[in-house]
């Protein structure tokens, strides 16, 4: 696919977002006003600028990722506008900010390449650790940056700039930093980690000292996230750790041991945290707890069922009955109004992004870039799988967001940077 075709698809995505907002207004018997034009302007500006940045700083990068991200963002923005116009206004700002950071990523790596991330891995690790502890700051103290507790979880940071208060989740950026650190560490120590010098039962492991830095990094980040009650991010980080270890070494031992540790950790979390027990009950028997913990999952299932094959039509469903629909359950809201056909198309777009990302990893000749692309794609794919699987009851809900579609600035910004990194990696492999 050519760059011109990429630009045309981005324009089509912007038109689709504007058309979606117009349909919502028509369904609500509201006049088609400035929101339609503003939605089109934001989408064209954000993704058009990213498209221009790719032409300038990564001209040989893959042309498939930006249009797919734009299409997902268009569907998400239309549905968020249908659910809560005020949230949609904020989402437009986050799209612009995310695109800006994606452009900054492409520009910053244009002269030094992604290998700069490999050289400064321990700086990234320290930065990740620093960001992780920010939500643990006191909520009341004189400094302008404070930790916030939302729904019992300490995941948020408030930054008071005087004229505006910004809230964000540092954990979203931490995932990118930790994947980059793991890719750099594993690329350097691949040979040592592949050697079999210690045997524990049927399993063979490398020298323990080779594992110390990576285990310290993982336990520190995992422990802080568990303390913050961010079990969804903890699961993502743990899974990325195991997947990248396997990708670097090809050793089945890491998969088996990782699966065992996951089982032990899941059992410990179930016994130690009441909110984990609540989520498991809501997952297993949601209709028995419809009035309490199963309300959200039950209504999500009802919404998907009422959507049938072709959906009720954008703006004609009742997704407002679903709790936290713009964030946790936007897939259920879209499934009701666009039906099975729309849901399958959305799943296909996520599958294509994952396929393109893994293709970049497989074609990469440099081990660091291979592991970085694989780790980024794996976290993106697993996050999408966990939230969609949670809605259709394949897994318990984890509280994470659906990339590019859910309302949420931190996740949206992080995914723009993720896409920019994948495009840059694909460019470097073709130069």
State the DSSP code for 30. Answer: -
Domain for residue 223, yes or no?
A: no
DSSP assignment of 123-165 equals: HHHHHHHHHHHGGGS-SSSSSSEEEEEETTEEEEEEEE-SS-E
Specify which of 10-19, 162-171, 219-228 reaches the highest per-range mean pLDDT: 10-19
What's the whole-model pTM score?
0.92
Q: 5: which 2 tokens?
A: 């075709």
- Is 247 part of any domain? no
Instruction: Decide if 9 is inside a domain.
Output: yes
Residue-range definition of the domain harbouring residue 170? 3-182+273-430
Label residue 296 left, alpha or beta by phi (over 0 means left) and psi (-120 to 50 means alpha).
alpha
Domain for residue 260, yes or no?
no
Q: Residue 412 contacts by C-beta under 8 Å, 6 or more apart in sequence?
A: 91, 94, 95, 98, 404
Q: Summarize pLDDT for 291-322 with one digit per residue, the tens.
A: 888 888 899 999 999 999 999 999 888 888 88
Say what the pLDDT of residue 152 is.
Answer: 62
In a domain, 352, yes or no: yes
With respect to residue 360, please indicate whether it lies within any of the assigned structural domains.
yes
Reported as a single tens digit per residue, the pLDDT across 180-225 is 999 998 998 887 777 766 666 666 667 677 667 667 766 766 666 6
- The DSSP annotation for 299-360 comes to HHHHHHHHHTTT-S-TTTS-GGGSTTTTTT-HHHHHHHHHHHHHHHHHHHHHHHHHHHHHHH
Number of structural domains in the chain: 1
Residue 66 lies in a domain: yes
pLDDT digits (tens, 9 = 90+) for 19-32: 999 999 999 888 88
Q: Is residue 7 part of a domain?
A: yes
- Res. 148: pLDDT tops 90: no
The per-residue pLDDT for 198 is 67
């Amino acid at each position: 696919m050519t760059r011109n075709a990429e630009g045309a698809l981005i324009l089509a995505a912007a038109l689709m977002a504007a058309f979606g907002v117009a349909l919502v207004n028509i369904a609500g018997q509201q006049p088609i006003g400035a929101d339609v034009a503003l939605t089109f302007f934001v989408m064209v500006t954000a993704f058009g600028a990213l498209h221009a940045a790719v032409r300038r700083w990564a001209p040989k990068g893959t042309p498939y990722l930006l249009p797919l991200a734009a299409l997902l963002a268009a569907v998400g923005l239309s549905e968020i506008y249908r659910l809560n116009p005020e949230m949609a206004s904020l989402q437009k700002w986050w799209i612009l900010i995310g695109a800006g950071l994606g452009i900054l990523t492409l520009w910053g790596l244009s002269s030094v390449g992604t290998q700069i991330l490999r050289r400064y891995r321990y700086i990234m690790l320290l930065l990740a650790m620093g960001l992780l502890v920010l939500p643990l700051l006191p909520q009341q103290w004189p400094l302008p940056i404070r930790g916030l507790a939302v729904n019992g979880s300490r995941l948020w940071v408030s930054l008071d700039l005087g004229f505006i208060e910004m809230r964000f989740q540092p954990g979203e950026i931490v995932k990118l930093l930790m994947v980059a650190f793991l890719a750099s560490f594993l690329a350097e120590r691949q040979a040592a980690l592949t050697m079999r010098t210690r045997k524990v039962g049927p399993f063979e492991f490398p020298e323990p000292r080779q594992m110390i830095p990576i285990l310290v990094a993982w336990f520190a980040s995992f422990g802080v996230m568990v303390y913050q009650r961010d079990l969804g991010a903890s699961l993502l980080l743990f899974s990325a750790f195991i997947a990248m270890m396997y990708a670097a070494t090809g050793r089945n031992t890491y998969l088996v041991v990782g699966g065992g540790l996951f089982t032990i950790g899941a059992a410990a979390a179930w016994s130690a945290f009441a909110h984990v027990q609540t989520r498991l009950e809501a997952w297993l028997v949601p209709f028995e707890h419809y009035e309490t913990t199963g309300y959200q999952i039950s209504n999500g299932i009802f919404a998907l069922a009422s959507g049938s094959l072709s959906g009720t039509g954008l703006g004609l469903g009742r997704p407002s009955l679903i709790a936290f629909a713009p964030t946790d359950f936007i897939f259920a809201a879209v499934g009701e109004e666009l039906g099975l056909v729309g849901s399958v198309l959305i799943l296909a777009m996520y599958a294509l992004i994952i396929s393109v990302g893994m293709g970049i990893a497989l074609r990469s000749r440099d081990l660091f870039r291979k592991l970085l692309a694989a780790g980024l794609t794996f976290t993106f794919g697993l996050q999408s799988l966990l939230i969609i699987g949670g809605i259709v009851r394949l897994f318990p809900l984890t509280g994470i967001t659906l990339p590019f579609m859910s309302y949420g600035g931190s996740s949206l910004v992080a995914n723009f940077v993720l896409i920019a990194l994948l495009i840059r990696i694909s460019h470097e492999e073709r130069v």
